[in-house]
Amino acid sequence: MTNKFAKQQKKLLEQEHRLPYTLSDENQRYSITIYRMLGKISGIVIFNQEGNVATSDEAKRIAHQLQKYTFYFDYLSKRAHSVKERDSVVAKKIEQSQFILNEQHLFGQKMQVVVNELALGLEVYKQEQHKLDIYQDDISLLNEKIKEQKEILSEDWKTAENLSIEYKTTAYAQSIALEQTRKNRHQLIKWYHENQKQLPNRERKDLGKLVSLLSDMSAGLVFDQIISLIPLLEKGLMLDKEQILTKRIFEFNKEYAARCHFFKPNTNKISHLIRN
């Protein structure tokens, strides 16, 4: 009955996809068929373990679980689609070229303040990107585990919650650091173009490589894409954005962890998609 009913519910131009794992509720396992149109979810049908269509109440409870799991990794999905793996590539390139910022005799007292702030921001970016790469690998392993066992176990929910908190809090610290030093990056690029002729050959060449990397056509583009996703991280959280960087990050970490732990599904957002 599962395949027949799922086919009947499929509308014109929709793509049908059955999730490779089940969700459980009250000792019953449920399978989920999702319909997409133009890349967006347009419908959901949920079946019990006998292959029969779940009741409306059962479907809502399972759909809320699905919404919760999707919420955990929604930022990662959007970031991967937007940035792909360029954030990791940029971090490696910065590691190879940032040493020129240690040449304090180059910049003068006023510009040195700008350079110091930028150097700190780039260091935060690198360190947090290294953590993000590790967390992303762990999330991939979790998803593979779920696919192999064909269900989400209670232990998987806790792992997913912890990974979501670790990934998003790290991403927020990185994103805010990039936002705070965006002006410094532009100031360094401007200073280099105005003063490059006065620089020694080696320093001019090394700083030129870093400036080229930080331009809006290279790493600068990746940075701005990451910054543009800050509203997605902050969505639904009560934050004071006027606080200093450390307090702003601390408040986000606390608020987001609480939201994960006490997650409340958006009933209005998903109820109209259920076709049971």
pLDDT in tens, 40-96: 888 899 999 888 899 999 999 999 999 999 999 999 999 999 998 999 999 999 999
pLDDT band at 1 (very low <50, low <70, confident <90, very high): low
pLDDT, one tens digit per residue, over 139-162 is 999 999 999 999 999 999 999 999
Average pLDDT score, the chain: 93
- Rounded CA-CA distance 102/99 in Å is 6
36's tokens: 């997409």
Residue 134 CA, chain-centre distance (Å), reads: 13
Q: Which amino acid is at 273?
A: L
- State the amino acid at position 138 in one-letter form: D
Alpha helices in 150-264 (DSSP H): 154-180, 182-195, 201-214, 219-228, 230-234, 245-261
Neighbours of 122 (CB within 10 A): 26
Give me the DSSP letters along 68-122. HHHHHTHHHHHHHHHHTTHHHHHHHHHHHHGGGGG-GGGTHHHHHHHHHHHHHHH
Query: Looking at residue 3, what is its pLDDT?
Result: 66
11 CA to centre of own chain? 32
| Residue (of 24, 265, 35, 4) closest to 149 by Cα position | 24
Q: What global pTM score does this model have?
A: 0.91
Contact between 97 and 206 under an 8 Å Cβ cutoff? The reply is: yes
